Amino acid sequence: MFAFRPAVWAGSAVACAGSLLLGGCSEEGSTGKETMEFSEMSTWTPSQDSPLFAVHYMPWFNNPETSERGRKEWSHWAWTDGKTVNDPLLRDADGQRGIASVDYPLIGPYSSDDPDVVRYHFRTMRSVGIDAVFIIWYGPGSDTDQLVPMLLDEAERAGLRLAICYEEKLNWPEYRNPESRADIVNTATDDLNYILSEYSGHPAYLHRGQKPFIYQFNFWGEGDLGKNNILPAEWEQVFSSLDQSVAYARQNLNPEYHPEIGGAYVWWSEDESYLRDFAEYSRSMVDADRLEFFMTMAAPGFDDSGVNGWGHGARVSSDRGPGMLQKTLEIAVEGDPEVIQLVTWNDFNEGTALEPTVRFGYQYLDALEEFIASVTGRSAEFSDNRSALREYLKRASEKQRVELAPGVEEYLEAPMSQVDEAQTQAE
């Protein structure tokens, strides 16, 4: 699926900055740490003491050997464009498939419709201290839409909240063929009403206060009907036609869209000045009652060599690893955002995955847990971060075992947290 986003890559931070300057767990899902009743977890409130930690999640992978729906394609694991060829049917000397990524998941290339995989993912997230999972969504009836009911149920089991990330581009070709700006308003309204009616009533669906939360990836460019974005006046029409009020956030910070749209967020960038400017301007707009809330981001870096930059040439951040994650986490708390979005759990194509991999193991997640503990006051315990993998390996079918990365069991041993290490030294 085409996912090139020139407006969100660090190299286009100047363009983004230009816009900116214009203005309780179930027993199976229990982590063993302090938790709360699920009814208390279904919302986040503006007055909470620490930010909500959420992670962006891609439910678009398919391995024909493990697909629950019997799908035959290698969705998002394969890539060829004449310059780069990654074929998962081929294995290297270590037995790893030739996937379209610079990283290799510990459980191997999987299918997003496999509940065992989702359970492993969600339970690991919760063990680390992640509060919510944000899923990319491609419209009613799409492959991603078909998985939302299962994802919501698994989120509830794990003690997570879930929200949907809407693609603004769904209202233009190649997805739809509007004949007027009114058609764009109507399809966007229908999409959001569909999300609200089908999913916002689920106990796991994330709300800000009493309002279901939805946010969007912006589209870009211009076409026969003008700008390829829903315009501020058009958003007024959309919101007035929704069946219920929604807490909505738009990518980047363009003041002309606010306060009609209550929230703003920033996607991946390694430009520290841009990230800090976003937080500063967002905070000033919140203080001036021109913005209700904003969401910052943290990420381990970026490398889409596995898909040759979606055919446009590979883009690789200057740093990628635990150091970049730590740096962006420290920047992410500036300005006191209500939400910090972790970019991402499993975008293997763009090299932003926090999910345990052969190269990085649990380095990202252990560091993330320690940071979350420092912000929220929860305890940090690394051993249970591996519990979900241990359970997955125990229950894995023969087809799932064939996909495992070689030596996966070696990643089950956990290092001590800084707190545990200090206690050991004191003793």
Segment 401-416 mean pLDDT: 91
User: Environment class of residue 262 by beta-carbon count within 10 Å: exposed (0-12), middle (13-18) or buried (19+)?
Assistant: buried
**Interstrand relation of 211-217 and 207-208 (parallel, antiparallel or unpaired):** antiparallel
| Beta-bridge partners for 134 | 56, 163
Cβ atoms of 293 and 263 within 8 Å: the answer is yes
pLDDT at 416: 61
pLDDT at 31: 40
DSSP per residue, 311-377? HT---B-S--SHHHHHHHHHHHTTT--SEEEES-SS-GGGT---S-BTTTBTHHHHHHHHHHHHHH-
CA–CA dist 190, 196 (Å, integer): 10
In this predicted structure, the answer to whether residue 231 has a pLDDT above a threshold of 90 is yes
Cβ-Cβ contacts under 8 Å for 142 (sequence gap 6 or more):
none
pLDDT tier at 353, thresholds 50, 70, 90: very high
How confident is the model over 73-85, as pLDDT tens digits?
999 999 999 899 9
φ/ψ bin of 40: left (φ > 0), alpha (ψ from -120 to 50), beta (otherwise): alpha
How confident is the model over 95-121, as pLDDT tens digits?
999 999 999 999 999 999 999 999 999
Q: Which amino acid is at 30?
A: S
Q: Which amino acid is at 238?
A: V
In this predicted structure, the answer to whether residue 36 has a pLDDT above a threshold of 70 is no
Specify the residue for token string 């940090």. Answer: 380
How many other CB atoms are there within 10 angstroms of residue 339's CB atom?
Answer: 26
**Interstrand relation of 263-265 and 293-298 (parallel, antiparallel or unpaired):** parallel
Q: Is 78 helix (H, G, I), strand (E, B) or coil?
A: coil
CA–CA dist 158, 204 (Å, integer): 10
Phi, psi (degrees; rounded to nearest 5) at 36: -125, 165
CATH class of 43-426: alpha beta
pLDDT at 4: 31
| Beta-bridge partners for 265 | 251, 295
User: Can you state the percent helix, strand and coil of the chain, rounding each to 5?
Assistant: 40, 15, 45
- C-alpha dihedral sign at 18, 20, 21, 23: positive
pLDDT at 48: 80
Segment 360-380 mean pLDDT: 96
User: Environment class of residue 229 by beta-carbon count within 10 Å: exposed (0-12), middle (13-18) or buried (19+)?
Assistant: buried
What residue ranges do the domains of the chain occupy?
A: 43-426
pTM, entire model = 0.89
- C-alpha dihedral sign at 264, 270, 274, 275: positive
pLDDT tier at 382, thresholds 50, 70, 90: very high
